Structure 1
Amino acid sequence: MATLPTQAAAVIIGQGGIVGASVAHHLIEQGWSDLVGLDGAAIPTDVGSTAHASDFCYMTSHDRLTCYTTTYSRRFYEALGHYHRVGGLEIARVGDEARLAELQRKVASGKAFGTRARMIDADEAVARFPLLDPALILGGLWDPDAGLVVPRSQRVAGVLVERAVASGHLSVFPETPAVNIDVQAGRVCGVETPRGYIATPLVILTAGIWGPLPAATAGVALPLMPVEHPLMFFGPFEAFAGSGKEIGYPLLRDQGNSAYMRDTGDPRSTEGGLLEWGYYEPVEPRLVHPGDILSRERARLSPSMRDLEADQVAEAFERAVELTPLLGELGWDEKHSFNGLLSVTPDGGSLVGEAPEVRGLWLCEAVWVKDGPGMGKVLADWLTHGRPELDPCGIDIARFYPVQKTAHHALGRCREIAQKIYDPPVHPREPFESGRDLRRGPFWPREMELGGYFMEAAGWERAHGYAANEARLSDYLERVPERPAEWDARHFWRVANAEQLAMSDDVGMINLSHFAIYDISGRDAEPLLERLSVAKVGGDTPLGKGVYTHFLDAFGGVHSDLTIVRLAVDAWRVICGGDTGHRDLMWIRRRGEDLGLTRWHLEDRTDSLATLGVWGPNARRLLQGLADEPAGLDDARFPFATARELRLQGLPIWAFRISYVGEQGWELYVPFSYGLALWDRLFEAGVLPVGIETYANSRRLEKSLRLQNVDLLTDYNLVEAGLARPRVKAADFHGKAAYLEQRQRPQQPASLCTLVMEENHDAAGTPRFPVGQSPLLDPASGEVPIDDLGRRSYVTSIAYGPSLERNIALAYLPAACAEAGRTLLLEYFGEHYPMRVAAVGYRALYDPENLRPRS
């Protein structure tokens, strides 16, 4: 065995799996060398999930990045000659109209994100997979690009490692576990193994189901849980004898039964002559702590292959036999059936990026075989160039706040994700049941008394509306349309729209305590924030001035949108959205380290400052009635986008005059200890509690306001988003060179447009109120418009705007389509709805001055 090197440019822990092999391959492809791969078992792995994965790849997903990584992986496997594109079928059973609707929704997502899935009828489904009972099939989805990695992803991992080693850029050491990741002063310094120590500034963790164990040696919390996945084999199955095929029929998903099936081809092929049936337990999934995975010596088959108990699958197997009677006729190969282990995370997304706790420790965890090469490219691009092609916000490990990575919280959320791997269909607004009441602002008791309809974001409980207002606002409710389609109405409360209308006639208050608030001070605070921000926040910016700005990546992509208020000569308050706040925090800290700036201090005020937005035409008059110095709220003394301290009946308030809802008013920041007193004073004065739905969705879209990680992404620039400032500040800032180049283009490849739905009734005459992301189609061709950079047009945000009485959406459109008045079609559950471009770039559709008189 080769001698273990004493140093390396990077060490990959978990080299034997498809993810580790893909990471090494793509790093070398991008010019990396001096890589060392470690694995506690063989390379390629003989114990990890890659060794027993079913190896099938469906392109379909409701997630843009997943569609990207899966389609990339499919092309990668095909280029290697290790992919059999047999197609994939997903079926809905007779009586399961909800599943059929979900397949229609998947087809729409495929159009939005670049896959080729289409709906097929029952006859075509049975023709493609003749083992099905025709009487049970309602319809199906056909994915022509789905297929199987052949002969196995384990073999592909071996091929990639062999090539990498032959290139001279990778050295591998099987049976060499990483005992400890050495961290000094918050940075990776090396890796300890039983064979010696390797000094390195970079460790890449691709250890799969074991990932949390080496991560913990570095002091990093990795919120990942392995879950058992029953796999059963039946045979002999001789349909493809003599064909030489690794698989004969298409892949089959019966997700209404939380199951799938495939054949293993010619009995003389690698693992042929069987039917494989897999199942995900939707009620009581069996999670396994990584530390409880059996050792190789104790495991009957393999550490990642646990014994299968018949009661795990009894009911589901009976339903499987109904659908495919041949399963009941073939014998069950009990000896080779098992529970495979796979990784689940608290939100179902992969865990990729640099660990927040440690510089130099990068992760590529919770990745399925179908995404392995794609995620390897994502990580290699990120490490090499500073970002991947698509915004990684949904997989970035920094998306989690520390409290969301605790063992108790991760366990509950992982269990829920495991329950929903296949069934039931997950609604775009689906709330979690576990991990609730984790973060509650001081107003929460009053919101409970009012019957708040709570949803959760970033651990915060947020009321989207209040039951108490249903009687109080009955007149306004009459102006809010019913949502007869259950899917459109799920997790939505009509009273929220009534609250918005009432606020616009008088004054309302919205709980914004989920804001992430960071106070930054010190001699280097100004150079740090100036280097990060597109807008000028230092220099001659007056004290108390608030600036809406953005952080860009090196390519001019929009990484963050936030507001920065100057508190003192050397102090600023940075206010971020709750969902994006932790990623923004890590961006600030890491850019500061990279710039060598050390004389600054950050105080996290998120859990000590509560926020109430008070808005409406009567906001000033009402607050003046409570203020110790009413004149201090006059327009001349308190202009827009400024902040100052004041007192409301003696309560100390830091007030910021700004609006995200298109109404006059202020954000009021108060220490948690004064929160209830502030709420009570406002409530007693007649201020209406308004749910977060108005702020986050309906009024936001009436004002054409963009949301980071949804409408603002790193793969689009500020000019395309309609948020470029009139002038570029003189001072340098991160991404400035790219931003200047983007501004100088004679025409942007795409523009973020505001669209309104001209007609929202479906073929049955039911009014629809779309939720989630849907594709836009050219009415002439029926195809999704694609810009010059290959980016597809889809609705990024959509909501019903009660003030405008329209469904309103945001979407990036290619230059040729970005014309006011142009009509496109939105596809929603298989039907098409006309969408008119109402504004190109940023232009608010809602103007309170022109809509109705002020009271």
Structure 2
Amino acid sequence: MATLPSQADAVIIGLGGIVGASVAHHLIERGWTHLVGIDASAIPTDVGSTAHASDFCFMTSHDRMACYTTTYSRQFYESLGHYHRVGGIEIARVGDEARLAELQRKVASGKAFGTHVHMIDADEVVEHFPLLERERVLGGMWDPDAGLVVPRSQQVAGELVERAVESGHLRAFADTAAQDIDVQDGRVCGVQTAKGYIASPVVILCCGIWGPLPAAMAGVALPLMPVEHPLMFFGPFDAFAGTGKEIGYPLMRDQGNSAYMRDTGDPSSTEGGMLEWGYYETTHPRLVHPRDILAREQARLSPSMHDLEADQIAEPFERAVELTPLLGELGWDEKHSFNGLLSVTSDGGSLIGEAPETRGLWCCEAVWVKDGPGMGKILADWLTDGHPSIDPCSIDIARFYPVQKTPHHVYGRCEEIARKIYDPAVHPREPFESGRNLRRSPFWPRECELGGYFMETAGWERAHGYAANETRLAHYLDEVPERPVEWDARHFWQVSNAEHLALSEDVGMINLSHFAIYDISGRDAEALLEYLSVAKIGGDTPLGKGVYTHFLDARGGVHSDLTIVRLARDCFRVICGGDTGHRDLMWITRRAEDVGLTRWHLEDRSDSLATLGLWGPNARRILQTLADTPEELTSERFPFASARKIQVRGLPVWAFHISYVGEQGWELYVPFSYGLALWDLLFEAGVPPVGIETYANSRRLEKSLRLQNVDLLTDYNLLETGLARPKVKNPDFHGKAAHLEQRERERQPAYLCTLVMESHLDGTGQARYPVGQSPLLDPENGEVPVDALGRRSYTTSIAYGPSLGRNIALGYLPASHAVEGRSLLLEYFGEHYPMRVEAVGYRALYDAENIRPRS
């Protein structure tokens, strides 16, 4: 028996699955030479999800990262000779026009993110998949690149491990469970097994449904739960006897019934001679805690395969037989049908990257077979280069705040996600039902009294508008157009646009208590923030000066945008968006460790400082009527981008003269205990509350302001975003070398542009107000413009701007297309709408002469 090595550059726990094997393969491709992989089962796994996965791959998704990883994985499987590109259909049933519209939306996402799907009619659907009842089919979508990993992803995992072992760069140990992960001073030091201890600075978890258990050994909470997935087999089905095929017909998704079906090919093939039908429970999904998964010797089938109960599938199976009567005629094979376990997370995304709690503990969890190689590449590039090739914000495990990883919160959110696994028709603004009222500002009672329409971000309850304003601001509400199509109006409140107009013409206050606020002090505080920031933070920067800046990754991509205020010579206030705040915190702490800066202290003020934005042309007048020293609020004495302590009727307020909505005004910060008093003072002075919709969407777009992780990504540099500073500061900063190289270019490959929709009427004459991300098309050829780096053009943000009376969007365009006045098309639910490039780079549209004002 091989001897367990005492040391490794990295230890992969869960090597036997497709994810662990893919991670090992890609690390070796990137030059890693001393890897150890262990698995509690066989290699390839005989108990994990890979052992029973359906192994099919659809390219379709509304998620850019998922389209990237699935496309990469499909090409990877093909390169190994282990992929049958048989195609795939997603159908809408007769009477389900909403599902058909959703398929049109998926076609648009495919164009935006580089997949090749298109709509087909009902006859074509049945031509592709003749087992369907024609009269039940309304239409469908065809994915020509969909297919099956053959003969099994389990075999691919085994081959990848064999190749890695043969290379001499990996040593693999089956039946070797991790008993403990050794962590000292917050860093991974090694892994303890029954066969010995392996010292290593890097441990990678690829444990799938068991992931939270080894993670807990290292003090890490994974927001992941396994869920049961009914999988049934019907047969015998011998339509492809003698063909040798692993699959004959295309894959078929019936997502209106939360189900899919495929044949298993020739009866003589790996698992042939059957029809496979899978279902995801939509009402009461059965979550299983990882600690309750049976041991291998206790399980009847396998630890990840549970017995199927007939009540789970009674109703959906009846609907399945309506569509495919042959299922009822064949009958199901009880012996081989089962509940397979798969991983769901609390927001539906994979968990990739270095764990926030423990340095050196890396995760590649909650990954489907269709994404396994792609996620393996993402992780290998991240570990090797310090960043992956595509912005990982949607999968970075650091995206969660600690409060979002508590057991009760995780269970509730995972249960919701499990109900929606096979329902991509989730609205882009769809709120969670569970885990609500977790973080509430001191203004929350007043917001409830005013009928706040609450949405949630990073645990914070945020009112997007207030029912009370439907009366108070009725004269503005009369100027706001209605949204006749339900999808456009869903989770949107018309009063939000009335509040926008009131703020524009008078004044309003917006609850910004979701900000992540970190006070950083100490001897190394200035050096740390100077190193991280593109803008000059220290030196002769005066006390009370606020600086809008960015953190870059090593390639010069935009990792963070934030504001830093100098409070004292060695103390700074870092103000981040709530949704990005925890990743920013991790970036600060990890980069400090990397460069050896230790003499600094961080105080998290996020849950103790409440923030109100007071904005509008009359903001100064209102604040002066309430301030104890109103003369100190003049523009001369209190210039823009400066901050200081003031008194408002005796209340201690830290006022920051800045705005994200482009209006005159301040961000007012007070301890939570003074929050209600400040709100009441402003409200009694006649200041209407304005919902976060104006701040985050409508006024932001009118001012061409960018949002991190949406418009600002590590995929693009500061010059492409239009936010590069006129000069580069002398001190070194992270990403400076790449930034300097980018500035030397005659022109950038792409530019972030502001576009307006010139007509928003659809084919039936109804006004449309697009939500979500949509592809931009060149009207000359109908194709998505692609820049020199292969990046595709789509709307990163879009919203209706009530002050301008237009739908406004941001989107990156290749340099050839980034020309003011250039015409493009936006595809939305199968129709095309004319767009015009109004600004290249940063330029606000509000008040611009060439845009008509609202009528």
Matches within 5 A, 1:435-834: 435-834=435-834
SS in 2 for 1:341: strand
Aligned residues of 1:663 and 1:848 also touching (Cα < 8 A): no
TM-score by length of 1: 0.99
Q: Deviations over 1:314-351 (max 9, x none)?
A: 00000000000100000211001000000000110000
Contact 1:662 1:847 in 2 (8 A): no
Contact 2:554 2:735 in 1 (8 A): yes
Query: Is the Cα contact below 8 Å between 1:659 and 1:665 reproduced in 2?
Result: yes
Does the CA-based 8 Å contact 1:352-1:396 persist in structure 2? yes
How far apart are the structure 1 equivalents of 2:851 and 2:447?
A: 30
> SS in structure 2 opposite 1:411?
helix
Determine the C-alpha separation between the residues in 1 that align with 2:519 and 2:473.
39
Alignment of 1:18-37 (within 5 A): 18-37=18-37
1:847 Cα deviation from its structure 2 partner: 3.1
Do the aligned residues in 2 keep the contact of 1:662 with 1:846 (CA within 8 Å)? no
CA contact (8 A) 1:85 1:148 kept: yes
Contact preservation (8 Å) 2:12, 2:36 = yes
- Partner of 2:316, secondary structure, is helix
Q: Counterpart amino acid of 1:184?
A: Q
Contact 2:845 2:851 in 1 (8 A): no
Q: Which runs of 5+ in 2 are unaligned?
A: none
Q: 1:541 to 1:310 in 2, by over 3 A?
A: same
**For residue 429 of structure 1, what is the aligned residue in structure 2?**
429
Find the residue that maps to 2:140 and give its secondary structure. strand
| Residue aligning to 2:252 | 252
Question: 2:52 aligned with 1:62, yes or no?
Answer: no
CA distance in 1 between partners of 2:389 and 2:96 (Å): 38
- How far does residue 850 in structure 1 lie from its aligned partner after superposition? 11
Q: Which moved more, 1:419-428 or 1:241-250?
A: 419-428
Query: Is the alpha carbon distance of 1:848 and 1:463 closer, same or farther for their aligned partners in structure 2, counting shifts above 3 Å?
Result: farther
Q: Summarize the alignment of residues 201-220 of structure 1 with structure 2, pairs less than 5 Å apart.
A: 201-220=201-220
* Alpha-carbon distance in structure 2 between the residues aligned to 1:589 and 1:662: 32
User: Paired residue for 1:158?
Assistant: 158
Match of 2:5 in 1: 5
The residue aligned with 2:278 is 278
State the 1:298 CA deviation.
Answer: 1.1
TM-score of the aligned structures, taking structure 2 as reference length: 0.99
Within 2, Cα distance between the matches of 1:463 and 1:687? 16
1:267 match: secondary structure: coil
- 1:152 alignment partner AA: R
C-alpha separation between the residues in 2 aligned to 1:49 and 1:727?
A: 53
* Structure 2 partner of 1:238: 238
Q: What amino acid maps onto 1:299 in structure 2?
A: A
- Specify the SS of the correspondent of 2:548: strand
CA distance in 2 between counterparts of 1:752 and 1:301 reads: 54
- Residue 43 of structure 1 aligns to a residue whose secondary structure is coil
* 3-state secondary structure, aligned to 1:95: coil
Q: How far does the alpha carbon of each residue in 1:719-778 deviate from its partner, in whole angstroms, 9 at most, with x for none?
A: 000000000000000000000000110010000000000000000000000000000000
Amino acid aligned to 2:423: D
The structural deviation recorded for 1:703 is 0.2
Structure 1 consecutive aligned stretches of length 4 or more whose deviation exceeds 6 Å: 848-853
Residues 794-813 of structure 1: CA distance to partner in whole angstroms, max 9, x if unpaired? 00000000000000000000
- The AA in structure 1 aligned to 2:251 is L
Does structure 2 retain, via aligned residues, the 8 Å contact 1:59–1:67? yes
Contact 1:662–1:848 at 8 Å: present in 2 too? no
Question: What residue number does 2:322 align with?
Answer: 322
Distance 1:849 1:273, change over 3 A: closer
Distance between the aligned counterparts of 1:315 and 1:688, measured in 2?
A: 50
CA distance, structure 2, for counterparts of residue 27 and residue 176 of structure 1: 21
One-letter amino acid matched to 1:736:
K
Please state how far the C-alpha of 1:422 moved relative to its aligned partner: 1.1
Q: Could you tell me which residue of structure 1 aligns to residue 138 of structure 2?
A: 138
Q: CA deviation at 1:848?
A: 8.8
How much has 1:172 moved relative to structure 2?
Answer: 0.5
1:179 counterpart SS class: strand
Instruction: Give the direction of change, closer, same or farther, for the CA distance of 1:107–1:155 in structure 2 (3 Å limit).
Output: same
1:44 aligns with 2:39: no
Displacement of 1:851 in angstroms is 9.7
Return the alpha-carbon distance in structure 2 between the equivalents of residues 300 and 387 of structure 1.
43
Alpha carbons of structure 1 residues 850 and 449: separation in structure 2 relative to 1, 3 Å: farther
Encode CA deviations 1:813-843: one digit per residue, 9 max, x unaligned: 0011000000100000000000000000000
The separation in 2 between residues aligned to 1:391 and 1:685, in whole angstroms, is: 45
Q: CA deviation at 1:297?
A: 1.0
Partner letter of residue 525 of structure 1?
A: A
Do the aligned partners of residues 471 and 848 (structure 1) sit closer, same or farther apart at CA in structure 2, a change above 3 Å counting? farther
Question: Partners in 2 of 1:558 and 1:504 — Cα distance?
Answer: 30
Whether contact under 8 Å (2:804, 2:852) holds in the other structure is no
Letter in structure 1 aligned against 2:448: M
C-alpha distance in 2 between matches for 1:532 and 1:668: 26
Tell me the distance in 1 between the aligned counterparts of 2:423 and 2:59: 18
What is the aligned partner in structure 2 of residue 91 from structure 1? 91
Q: CA deviation at 1:425?
A: 1.4
SS in 2 for 1:435: coil
Show CA shifts across 1:610-645 (max 9, x none).
000000111101100000000010110000000000
Q: Following the alignment from structure 2 to structure 1, what is the Cα–Cα distance between the partners of residues 566 and 448? A: 35
CA distance in structure 1 between the partners assigned to 2:663 and 2:356 by the alignment: 38
Unaligned runs of 5+ in 1: none
Distance 2:678 2:704 in 1: 31
Identity of aligned residues (%): 82
Q: Does the CA contact (< 8 Å) of 1:534 and 1:552 recur in 2?
A: yes
Displacement of 1:423 in angstroms is 2.7
Report SS of the residue matched to 2:747.
Answer: coil
2:611 aligned partner, one-letter code: T
CA distance in 1, matches of 2:530, 2:503: 37
How far apart are the structure 2 equivalents of 1:852 and 1:286?
A: 55
In the TM superposition, residue 505 of structure 1 has moved relative to its aligned partner by 1.4
- Distance in 2, Cα, partners of 1:467 & 1:553: 43
Pair 1:851–1:84, CA change in 2 (3 A): closer
SS of corresponding position for 1:826? strand
- Alignment coverage as a number of residue pairs: 853
Whole-Å separation in 1 of the counterparts to 2:740 and 2:617: 39
Distance across 1 between alignment mates of 2:271 and 2:436? 45
The CA RMSD over aligned residues, in Å, is 1.0
Q: Quick check: 1:236–1:331 contact (8 Å CA) kept in 2?
A: no
CA distance in 1, matches of 2:414, 2:823: 42
Q: Post-superposition shift, 1:60?
A: 0.1
Secondary structure at the aligned position of 1:689 is classed as: coil
Asked whether the 8 Å contact 1:256–1:424 carries over to 2, the reply is no
Secondary structure at the residue paired with 1:837? strand
Deviation at 1:852, TM superposition (A): 12
What code does the residue aligned with 1:484 have? P
**SS of residue in 1 equivalent to 2:178:** coil
| SS of structure 2 residue aligned to 1:315 | helix
Secondary structure in 2 matching 1:25: helix
Cα distance between partner residues in 2 of 1:849 and 1:488: 29
- What amino acid maps onto 1:450 in structure 2? L
